[in-house]
Amino acid sequence: MLSDAEHQRLSEIEIAFRASDPAFVRQFERLRQHQRARRTGAMVVLILGAMVTVLALVAGTTAVAVLGAIVTAAAVCVLEHRPR
């Protein structure tokens, strides 16, 4: 946990970076936007995969249920992956 003084110092560093090298800051902002879009897409796929799995099980279609489970597992893997 950071103290108030440390938070203040980090804020000052961020302001200095934004003023001295805006292109560098934009790289990180683009990365954050990309990660957010990827996470949102994975959540949509996760929900759809789970819905397909449940509906296929109710309908008794085993092959489609297995496919839905695989899609759901893949979405979970994407969500759990932390880019370096």
Amino acid 17: pLDDT: 84
pTM: 0.68
pLDDT tens-digit profile of 20-60?
Answer: 988 888 888 888 898 899 999 999 999 999 999 999 999 99
* Residue 42: per-residue pLDDT: 94
d(C-alpha 66, C-alpha 54), whole Å? 10
